[in-house]
Chains A and B, each alone.
Chain A
Amino acid sequence: MGESPKWHDGRFWMCDWLAGEVLVFDADAKRQVVARVDGCRFRSTGYPMAGSSPRRLVEL
């Protein structure tokens, strides 16, 4: 369940809400799980930020 796509630091990032994963993809589309949170969002610049469910922002 993909959401929150972002281009950050030369790579494609997104969240999988159902899995609670923050994902980063390499140029060859290989994916890496870089964090696990309960629901995700990204800050627009600088560091990623996730919104953990239900009501807290966390900085990654």
Chain B
Amino acid sequence: MTGPDLSPYGATGQPFNEIVVDARGRAWVDMPGSMPWEDPKPGTVTVVLPDGSSRQVADDVWFPNGMVVLGEDTLVLAESHRDRLTAWTITEAGELVDRRVWADLGPGSAPDGLCADAEGAIWYASVPGQRCTRVAEGGKVLETVTADRGCFACMLGGDDGRTLYVVANHYPGAGTSDGVVLIQPVAVPRSGRP
């Protein structure tokens, strides 16, 4: 193993799921209140500051999953168990305010990983839907890419930001995996964070 040494950056005291870092180096981390196979309970969002300290900034999020920062101060989070994307405004002080539904995605969408593009739309991955879908604020579906297995996350990349990378997998049994990386050229390049 030739990888770098690992050094602690912060701790939340709870198991966490997704992370996104804003322009000021603040890490936004979400934590499900229950595992997918348990009775659903709401989770939370915590911010981890560059000095390693952390505090909870949101609750009542239902299986919080992928996150993206649009512009300088809009955090969008996938609530897998509510089939929606939820947004807040990030304040100077690192609080989340003005919670709102960014997009209602419809039953069975269960949004997982997210990324954003230069037109302000969001691509979300759907495991049960075996697809990645590009939506506008308000929920209008703009484009869909399908797969033969569950799509766990997607990210725009490539030198021009116009390749959609999709990690897809049949939902694994005990220790099994048949993961693939799919790529799809798209018209609108990546934007936002990550």
Q: How far is the CA of A55 from the CA of B48 in the complex (A)?
A: 12
Task: Please give the distance in Å from A21's CB to the nearest CB on chain B.
Answer: 9
Looking at chain B's contact residues, the main secondary structure is: strand
Which residues of chain B in 6-37 are interfacial with respect to chain A, using CB atoms and an 8 Å cutoff? 6-16, 18-22, 27, 29
User: At the interface, yes or no: B172 with Cβ under 8 Å from chain A?
Assistant: yes
Q: How far is the CA of A46 from the CA of B50 in the complex (A)?
A: 13
Write the B158-189 contact mask toward A (1 if CB under 8 angstroms, else 0): 11010001111100100101011100000000
The answer to whether A5 and B11 have CB atoms under 8 Å apart is: no
Question: Which B residues are closer than 8 A to A by beta carbons?
Answer: 1-4, 6-16, 18-22, 27, 29, 48, 69, 113, 152-159, 161, 165-169, 172, 175, 177, 179-181, 190, 193-194
Question: Which A residues are closer than 8 A to B by beta carbons?
Answer: 1-7, 10, 12, 14, 16, 18-19, 22, 25, 29, 33-37, 41-46, 49-60
